[in-house]
Structure 1
């Protein structure tokens, strides 16, 4: 997995390089203290992942990422925790709050690898979600999934007769599930459209379970549900 790092602090770039050297499958091929130089580099080089500082003197990292035509996966790095929500609205893989240790760094890049590997391999079968559960691969039919809930580094896939706890990020689950069958309604919830029994602006009910709709997803969810009503 090839990456570059962009940060105006030389020590931060050095730390990322040191951590990356401990991971066989991660190659930080270049680092930049100047975002404009990094942008020129990206025009000529294809990378899988960006480590991107948010607060830089000449440009905001989030605005920089939005400006890219071809967007690699991104892990934002910053000393300011107030940017976390904004980072996730840009579909960032993760958000590293400085100073971060190697274990936290490893956790973030493993999430990135999982997502990139999935996109490259297209491992999901038609009509099924393919997950690793109890040390073996298992198919879960889309039609059996009621909703998915985030639980730290795991997701709970609610199916009968009992939910499955799977080591997977919500971002990867969202990528794997077909958008015509599932909708993300909250940072912590994805619901099956055909299992929704009622809804209003702030909540969705899935077979007796009340699930919040966060402000970030409200318009998207309402548009999808309105379209479903028009089609029915």
Structure 2
């Protein structure tokens, strides 16, 4: 986590620097003994965690944090218990009372780390199903179930994972691409679209799917190889 510390007391800043240096998950970018300089830095730089004293001359830590458009995770530090309520109203991760002990600091960092990981969890991709007409029926297709799609003149065959027979529907590859999610599916040939996640290997311009099916890559779609390798 990228962090900075703001405190008008040099000794307090030095202690924070010492504590922070003991945590490899924390990357201390800057320290400031002037609140306005710290505020200017925050306006122009994105950080993950802010250690800030509350009781400072000219502007308090509470006022500084309140004025921020985009707030990082906050850990307030102060010598006064009376500010605790205001600190937690700003949804601070923790409130450290000076003098800060190593054990109390560790607890605060642990809370910040947990919150940081929670906020940065990859959100699962949710793909909307789409409808095709096949054999006089309307069939709902879940994109996550699609392995690959093959064109046959005016029709396409949609091969689904774990399903023996493909879904045959009157449609072009161009139209089905518009129904599929933009990320996760690639046209690799004038007759084939593949689900990127179902590609096991590529050799000599031939794709081998996880199921063993081999699909050619035409010269017009060779850029798929580089995109697939980079994921």
Which TM-score tier does this pair reach, normalised by the shorter chain?
0.5 to 0.7
2:18 pairs with 1:21: no
CA distance in 2, matches of 1:41, 1:117: 24
Per the normalisation by structure 1, the TM-score is 0.52
CA drift at 1:125: 11
- Residues 80-99 of structure 1: CA distance to partner in whole angstroms, max 9, x if unpaired? 00111111111000000000
CA distance in 2, matches of 1:90, 1:40: 20
Name the SS of the counterpart of 1:29 in structure 2: strand
CA drift at 1:44: 2.1
- Residues 65-116 of structure 1: CA distance to partner in whole angstroms, max 9, x if unpaired? 0001111010000000011111111100000000011111111011011001
Question: Taking structure 1 as reference, are residues 32 and 122 closer, same or farther at Cα in structure 2, changes over 3 Å only?
Answer: same
CA distance in 1, matches of 2:59, 2:85: 19
Name the SS of the counterpart of 2:14 in structure 1: helix
CA distance in 1, matches of 2:106, 2:119: 20
Alignment size in residue pairs: 126
Name the SS of the counterpart of 1:69 in structure 2: coil
Query: Gapped runs of 5+ residues in structure 2?
Result: 127-231
- Residues 128-166 of structure 1: CA distance to partner in whole angstroms, max 9, x if unpaired? xxxxxxxxxxxxxxxxxxxxxxxxxxxxxxxxxxxxxxx
Question: Taking structure 1 as reference, are residues 80 and 120 closer, same or farther at Cα in structure 2, changes over 3 Å only?
Answer: same
In the alignment, which residue of structure 2 is the partner of 1:135?
none
- Residues 166-204 of structure 1: CA distance to partner in whole angstroms, max 9, x if unpaired? xxxxxxxxxxxxxxxxxxxxxxxxxxxxxxxxxxxxxxx
CA drift at 1:16: 0.4
Question: Taking structure 1 as reference, are residues 15 and 121 closer, same or farther at Cα in structure 2, changes over 3 Å only?
Answer: same
Name the SS of the counterpart of 1:121 in structure 2: coil
In the alignment, which residue of structure 1 is the partner of 2:167?
none
CA distance in 2, matches of 1:114, 1:11: 28
CA distance in 1, matches of 2:3, 2:50: 6
CA distance in 1, matches of 2:111, 2:72: 14
2:103 pairs with 1:103: yes
Question: Taking structure 1 as reference, are residues 29 and 82 closer, same or farther at Cα in structure 2, changes over 3 Å only?
Answer: same
CA drift at 1:122: 4.6
